[in-house]
């Protein structure tokens, strides 16, 4: 392994052969003084994984605690990878990507720069993530679209049945009721002010890339969009 200058490596990390930590950003206009890389504790970083320093002097690429980065994974400059994240073989994160706690990215999936992946989301192998992925959802490998909640991941994380049911209710509100984008945000804020489902509203209020849509789009959303062109864009329009 190679640990380069500008890297802060925590305790009890297991770094395998060929991994390079703290490499310079892959950018045509490299600054004279790039930023740093901070890696937490108890991570497993397998063979030939690469994690790059931040592009800007005062910036930081971050990896949390207890993550697993499998063979050939790449974490580009200015990414933030939360604790408990699993990046399987050959996952590619472009610059400025944020991956929240305990998200799981399947083999050879790739994430566009500036995208966010929410907590406990699961991305199928070889998926192409070009927009933000909300927390708790499952993105399939064939279409790179959302196909439901990550129920297995939620159970493994210790979510109680009533907590999963609350997330199901919030999911139906977002994807199945054919609401406009403004109506979705208002309903999430009023119906789910606390609990895990409250994270949906917080997540949807941020980001710059738009949001990955559901594979099954309700017909009412399409009809609503064409019927009222002056209204705020509905979720399908916002995300698609």
**Structure tokens belonging to residue 94:** 């472009």
Instruction: Order the strands of the 60-63 sheet from edge to edge.
Output: 7-9, 36-39, 60-63, 80-81, 98-99, 116-117
For 200, phi and psi rounded to 5 degrees? -60, -50
> 52, 74, 77, 196: which one is catalytic?
77
77 classed as catalytic: yes
Domains along the sequence of the chain with CATH: 2-153 (2.160.10.10), 156-239 (1.20.1180)
74 classed as catalytic: no
From first to last of its 240 residues, what are the pLDDT tens digits of the chain? 999 999 999 999 999 999 999 999 999 988 889 999 999 999 999 999 999 999 999 999 999 999 999 999 999 999 999 999 999 999 999 999 999 999 999 999 999 999 999 999 999 999 999 999 999 999 999 999 999 999 999 999 999 999 999 999 999 999 999 999 999 999 999 999 999 999 999 999 999 999 999 998 555 554 343 334 444 444 443 444
Give the residue among 142, 139, 61, 55 at the shortest CA–CA distance from 105: 139
pTM exceeding the 0.75 threshold for the entire prediction: yes
Q: Is 10 exposed, middle or buried (0-12, 13-18, 19+ CB in 10 A)?
A: middle
78 classed as catalytic: yes
> 78, 96, 132, 201: which one is catalytic?
78
């Amino acid at each position: 392994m190679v640990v380069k200058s500008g890297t802060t490596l925590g305790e009890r990390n297991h770094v395998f052969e060929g991994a390079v930590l703290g490499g310079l950003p892959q950018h045509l206009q490299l600054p004279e003084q790039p930023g740093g890389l901070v890696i937490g504790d108890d991570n497993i970083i397998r063979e030939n994984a690469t994690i790059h320093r931040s592009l800007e002097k005062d910036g930081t690429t971050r990896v949390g605690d207890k993550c697993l980065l499998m063979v050939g994974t790449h974490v580009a400059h200015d990414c933030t990878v939360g604790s408990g994240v699993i990046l399987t073989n050959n996952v590619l994160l472009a610059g400025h990507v944020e991956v929240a706690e305990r998200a799981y990215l399947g083999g050879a999936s790739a994430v566009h720069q500036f995208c966010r992946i929410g907590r406990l989301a699961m991305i199928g192998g070889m998926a192409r993530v070009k927009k933000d992925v909300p927390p708790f959802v499952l993105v399939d490998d064939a279409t790179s679209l959302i196909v439901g909640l990550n129920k297995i991941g939620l159970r493994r994380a210790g979510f109680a049945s009533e907590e999963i049911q609350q997330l199901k209710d919030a999911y139906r509100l977002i994807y199945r009721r054919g609401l406009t984008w403004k109506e979705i945000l208002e309903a999430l804020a009023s119906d789910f002010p606390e609990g895990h489902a409250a994270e949906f509203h917080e997540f949807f209020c941020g980001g710059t890339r738009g949001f990955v849509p559901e594979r099954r789009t309700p017909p009412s959303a399409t009809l609503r969009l064409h019927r009222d062109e002056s209204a705020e864009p509905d979720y399908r329009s916002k995300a698609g």
